[in-house]
Amino acid sequence: MTPIRHDWTREEVEALLDLPLSDLIFSAQQVHREHFDPNRVQVSTLLSIKTGACPEDCGYCPQSAHHQVDLERERLLQLEEVEQAARSAREHGATRFCMGAAWRNPTDRNLGRVIEMVRAVRDQGLETCMTLGMLTPQQARRLAEAGLDYYNHNLDTSPEYYGEVISTRTYQERLDTLEHVREAGLSVCTGGILGMGESRRDRAGLLQQLACLPRHPESVPINQLVQVEGTPLHGTEALDPFEFVRTIAVARILMPESHVRLSAGRTDMSDEMQALCFLAGANSIFHGERLLTTPNPETSRDRRLFERLGIQPETAHESAAGTQPQGEQAAPVQHG
């Protein structure tokens, strides 16, 4: 059995990224089969519960109030709207329902409304995930007490490249939120975005940060930049598809028990590229035709691809089993 490590060096991660592609995928597939059924994929659905007017200046994000983007700002959704969306997601095969709000951090009043949503979605038999920006320890505990399963807070990129993308929130603040989430007993969902102009060394740095957390994230979303006109990163040179596949494979090797998710950017991926990602160890996707504000493949396309590849979606029972603690005790996040 592949040992679970938390002491990877940047040089070790870069060496994995430098391997011949066939050797890298072979190694990743071996690790994947030790811990997962290679023909099962966990399916999540993502809903924007509050869109636009975010005070952060993330260079990739159309929801930032700093960017001139054709995006209609929306209020926090009503509970009934969320319940209807969750019901539809479950009927289309999702086992986890993720909700995102364009906030720097939630107010305690808004958190109360969000907690109602968590409870309503759980009542429909779905796992719940939230991404609301930064959290205090007290807010993380309130969400855990309400029954939230996962909290998403991406690191986005390496510590060194981070300042090229975002200036209104520090890398340390992101790590602090992950620490609060873990200490509250919530499962952690954290990953990054590829194709923002970063180097391979930066991609290695992101993976190193994730793999050296005291406990690996239960879910690791790997996004491909969706270029939106009006955002600072619009016009960035597209990432080589094989580089994306390499990153998926290394994530699988470094974090053997984590679900590695194909997230944003799948509309620009061919079926063949997605198949390579599954072969490299990806075993989770976002299902549904929209991810917050950007498009996602139609559910019928995903269904056809799964059929062609012989892949089956995880059941709710299988997905829930994957969220159980891995025998490691929660510990404070190691910074840097």
**Taken in order 266, 170, 187, 108, is the CA torsion positive or negative?**
negative
Cβ atoms of 51 and 85 within 8 Å: the answer is no
> Is 98 one of the annotated active-site residues of the chain?
yes
Q: Could you say which of 5, 33, 40, 58 is catalytic?
A: 58
- Alpha-carbon distance of 192 to 154, in angstroms, equals 6
- Alpha-carbon distance of 316 to 279, in angstroms, equals 23
- Alpha-carbon distance of 240 to 244, in angstroms, equals 7
Q: Could you say which of 61, 96, 174, 215 is catalytic?
A: 61
Q: Could you say which of 96, 113, 129, 182 is catalytic?
A: 129
- Alpha-carbon distance of 275 to 264, in angstroms, equals 16
Cβ atoms of 251 and 25 within 8 Å: the answer is no
Helix (H) or strand (E) holding 130: strand 127-131
Q: Could you say which of 96, 98, 212, 252 is catalytic?
A: 98
> Is 189 one of the annotated active-site residues of the chain?
yes
Q: Could you say which of 169, 203, 261, 266 is catalytic?
A: 261
Q: Could you say which of 142, 169, 182, 189 is catalytic?
A: 189
> Is 277 one of the annotated active-site residues of the chain?
no
DSSP sequence for 183-246 = HTTPEEE--EEE-SS--HHHHHHHHHHHHTSSS--SEEEEEEP---TTSTTTTPPPPPHHHHHH
Tell me which residues are annotated as active site: 54, 58, 61, 98, 129, 189, 261
